[in-house]
Structure 1
Amino acid sequence: MDKDAIEQMRQKVAQMSPDELKSAVASILGGGLADLVDARHTPPLPTVPDAPAVPCALTVRTDIDETSPPVWRRLVLRGDLTLDRVHEVIQTAFGWADSHLHRFWPGPDKQLWRGPYFLTRYDVDEGEEGILEVDVRLDQVLRDPGDRLFYTYDFGDDWTHTMRLESVDPLADTAPPAVCTAGRRAGPLEDSGGPPGHNELVAAHRTDPSLAGLEDYLRDWVPAGWDPAEFDAEEVTRQLSVVGLAPEEVLASLAGDEGVDWPVSLEGLLGLAPPAVTTQLAQLCARARTEHEAELTAEDLTAITKPYRYLVELAGDDGIPLTGAGWMKPSHVEQIYRELEFDAEWIGKGNREDQTMPIAQLRAMCQQLGLLRKHKERLLQTRLARSLSSDDDYLTAIASRLLHDKHPYQRATLALFAMFTAATGKAVSDHVDPVAELLTACGLRTGPHGVDRRDVLENVRPLWCTLRSATGRTFRDRDDPLPGDHRAVALARAALWPHPPTTS
């Protein structure tokens, strides 16, 4: 039985009256377990007074129960927000991914799983009857200071939030839906095991921020640079400003004089990204466009395109002969190794392609970019390769195909890596972690905790090697800034926003 079915059964048991429970136990003992799972339970209906004639501004302190140290936000909310919008506000304020079920429970008493609650669309689809959260305003359930409303997110981890009304004030006509005025600590990590799991992680971080004492799989799962004490009320308010907007509306709201130049290769994420993530992506776009100078000289163009031109020209009219196993013959491998000076970054004789990674990667990239093709035990020039005559031609061809993939989410993965390269000025493997985090925040999964960084690394490795090669770095170099790093920035930008390269 899967986790959702067990959780559904647990909820139904908690909601049963003594007579219903007795009947269910008798049914189980008689072999009728399915009757319990299929039984429909109608919760007691919440009492919902009429909405005030004039909406007010409600100052609400929201705490995540049982977190230690406490995690909380003070929010000034429009009283006319419906609870489905309040759900979006809470998700954004604490950095949740909205990837699990949720539920609102009216106060003043805390009666989770046994008292009345407001229905979500999911509850209705499951056949339940009652009052929908979309039909209830916040000022109908929080009216006087001290009133409480409870919100549970993720029925497995059970993150319960207590919302307590602190004050009721006049509402300006232009007031935004939500503003964060105070708070403490970052929201818990998604799927971290509820408050007990979160508290253990926080305690481990307090003892050693490197989390060296954790098991490897758990340490690898925690996002790079995670700081549970991090909190910025202004940043939360900025993210709240786009709650409820469609991705296109978020981009429009962020557009300044120059607007947001959204790469085509990222369009696959537009329909998935929550507003806060769309904001992050838009800011990353702006940084990738403007953060670092990347004007290319003629020498830069030659340095970037030389390996590809060399292999294409080596193929000539007759192609490069291959062995029966499909590798380039040793004499050609040794020639490439020597002429392109791969001995600066690789140890070995450089006469076997399968044992000389830089050459194997260059050959694979030439085929992926459509410059060479394999035919009858030879590597031949393609029609595209025969049409290229200058470094400008080569750079345009390489850049225009660097992020190609038939799968939209794979294209987005490549595009994100290119954006971090352009935004930071370096093509380094460390970009894998924020790429995995953004993809996970968009609801994508390659493992139980979201998108695994190892999957991202495997997917972006050819792109990373190509960008790194453009800088003139070897794999022995550290990631300190080098004079050639602007080449990787220029190539990444040209791949994201195709245009003829600018040379000086």
Structure 2
Amino acid sequence: MPFTDDAEDDILTRFRELTDGLDHEVFGGASETIDRRRPEPSAVQVLTVRVDLHHSTPPIWRRLELRSDLSLEDVHTVLQTAFDWAGYHSWRFAAGGAPFDDAAEQFLCASDVEEGEDPDGIPAGEVRLGELLQRAGDALEYLYDYGDGWDLGIMVEAVREAEEDDAPARATGGSRAAPPEDCGGLRDEEDLKTLLEDPAFFDVAALDLELWSGTTMLTGPEDDVVPALLVEPLTLVGRARAGQDLMDRALLLGDPLAPLLDSAVAPALRALTWFLERADAEGGIPLTGAGYLRPADVEAASGVLPQMADWIGMNNREVHAVPLQMFRTSLQRAGILRKHKGALLLTRRAKAYCEAGNVRELFLDSLVPSRYETEELAQVVLLTYVATTKPGLPLPMVEIARVLTAIIGPSESGPVTTGAILDLPAWHLLANTGTVTSRLSERGFCFSPEATSLAREALTR
């Protein structure tokens, strides 16, 4: 018996109802990405979510309260803090499936958007959490570091209407320490015991305090003004934990501080002046056949170099006077001195400053410029921390290394190290500025008041 047109239409309609949402590849066609976003709730909600690190044994998880008006980029920032990661790898969210699934809707970090490999992906910063999660049982997937593959499942447990004093993010529960950055994807307790002092340790109160006090990067006022030199580093570091650390420091630079008096500049820069005067003399500063300062000059320079004040040894050979050698080579890397026919001479740039009597300007301009972009960015970050750390207190080297890794990215040998920071020319220029009032063993990573003031001036002028 032949089908009527109406009967055929009914069958096609029923077939579409039964197959709606199924993977179209089952029927030989290409899968389609469904737009899973919904209109945001009329009132802002607070979503209680449980976030689990997939395939971790025992389970590693966090319970968070998140406002629905956070962007997915904000949520990325919260997750980085919650799992104590550094934020310098690519990441994405996915709805309706796992990250990279063809049928799942993908929400991308800025680097993935720029590369254009997922043309249907949506920039995460343009999507609010409340467009995807609205009721208990709603879920979202997150992937960080495509190499290690830290995949997190986000499940809504409860929803309530937000109150006026609700923070953007809070931590209310969780279990176990998260795997450290760049550990190769390890997530089992036995493996993590080789990397963590106590894999079972998790302090929910400490995490909640960090989220509570660190919400400026989630809700930061648009009118914040930072020095022009910090715009690029802040843009590159993004909104993860390291970006928050750098932004906190940048905002401190807005506090008024009297510049160093001209009368204090000359004694503060006496190490620099010693080299300028001798390099500008006829014949410059002669070097030995091996390219080192001569013994008499080593002894004389050691007498004015703060870092040599308590250096052990006779200080008559540059190869043994390490702080002096690092300072001298830093003057060359900063474009102040140059080697020519077995002697150290002023560069044309340095000579022009000296002839104009602008040693202060020469020093300030030499703290940032570099032939290498990454080194210049690193020196701007270093200046920021020197300028915002109380003189006499040690710089937070681990934090600086984390910020630099987020900006520059890890090398083949891993994240930026303290040793790389100590190799920056600006470090040695500033470390030899001012008067030393304590022994080397006590001084550590501290800088003088004069160095702090000049670092701030170099950033904000």
Establish whether TM, by shorter chain, passes 0.5.
yes
**Deviation of 1:284 (Å):** 0.8
Q: Percent identity?
A: 24
Q: Which residue in the other structure is 2:208 paired with?
A: 233
Work out which of the residue numbers 38, 54, 62 in structure 1 matches 2:50.
62
Work out which of the residue numbers 391, 399, 403 in structure 1 matches 2:368.
403
C-alpha change, 1:408 and 1:77, in structure 2 (3 Å) is same
Q: Distance in 2 between matches of 1:154 and 1:484?
A: 36
**Deviation of 1:439 (Å):** 1.9
The reply to whether residue 451 of structure 1 matches residue 426 of structure 2 is: no
Q: Which residue in the other structure is 1:305 paired with?
A: 269
Correspondences of 1:286-325 after superposition (within 5 Å): 286-287=251-252, 290=255, 295=260, 298=263, 300-315=264-279, 316-325=281-290
The reply to whether residue 423 of structure 1 matches residue 388 of structure 2 is: yes
Q: Residue type of the partner of 1:164?
A: M
1:196 match: secondary structure: coil
Number of residue pairs the alignment of both structures matches:
429
Work out which of the residue numbers 388, 391, 409 in structure 1 matches 2:354.
388
Q: Which residue in the other structure is 2:105 paired with?
A: 118
Contact 2:89-2:144 at 8 Å conserved across structures: no
Contact 2:173-2:204 at 8 Å conserved across structures: no
Q: Which residue in the other structure is 1:165 paired with?
A: 156
Contact 2:47-2:67 at 8 Å conserved across structures: yes
The reply to whether residue 497 of structure 1 matches residue 449 of structure 2 is: no
The reply to whether residue 272 of structure 1 matches residue 232 of structure 2 is: no
- Give the gaps of 5 or more residues in structure 1: 1-15, 21-39, 210-225, 499-504
Higher normalized helix content (fraction of residues): 1
**Deviation of 1:289 (Å):** 6.1
Q: Distance in 1 between matches of 2:318 and 2:59?
A: 56
Q: Residue type of the partner of 2:136?
A: P
Q: State TM-score, norm by structure 1.
A: 0.65
**Deviation of 1:41 (Å):** 9.8
Q: Residue type of the partner of 1:466?
A: L
Contact 1:426-1:481 at 8 Å conserved across structures: no
Correspondences of 1:119-268 after superposition (within 5 Å): 119-120=106-107, 142-170=133-161, 178-180=168-170, 182-184=172-174, 188-194=179-185, 196=187, 201=192, 205-207=196-198, 231-233=206-208, 235-236=210-211, 239=214, 242-243=217-218, 252-253=222-223, 255=224, 260-264=225-229, 266-268=230-232
C-alpha change, 1:280 and 1:291, in structure 2 (3 Å) is farther
C-alpha change, 1:229 and 1:373, in structure 2 (3 Å) is same
Work out which of the residue numbers 90, 100, 112 in structure 1 matches 2:90.
100
Q: Distance in 2 between matches of 1:320 and 1:490?
A: 30
The reply to whether residue 356 of structure 1 matches residue 347 of structure 2 is: no
**Deviation of 1:72 (Å):** 1.0
Q: Distance in 1 between matches of 2:368 and 2:93?
A: 41
Q: Distance in 2 between matches of 1:444 and 1:132?
A: 21
Q: State TM-score, norm by structure 2.
A: 0.70
Q: Residue type of the partner of 1:233?
A: D
Q: Residue type of the partner of 1:273?
A: V
Correspondences of 1:40-51 after superposition (within 5 Å): 51=39
Taking only aligned residues, the RMSD between alpha carbons, in angstroms, comes to: 5.1
C-alpha change, 1:128 and 1:319, in structure 2 (3 Å) is closer
**Deviation of 1:19 (Å):** 10
2:428 match: secondary structure: helix
Work out which of the residue numbers 429, 437, 442 in structure 2 matches 1:479.
442
Q: Distance in 1 between matches of 2:447 and 2:80?
A: 42
Contact 2:391-2:446 at 8 Å conserved across structures: no
Contact 1:416-1:435 at 8 Å conserved across structures: yes
C-alpha change, 1:49 and 1:305, in structure 2 (3 Å) is closer
Q: Residue type of the partner of 2:354?
A: L
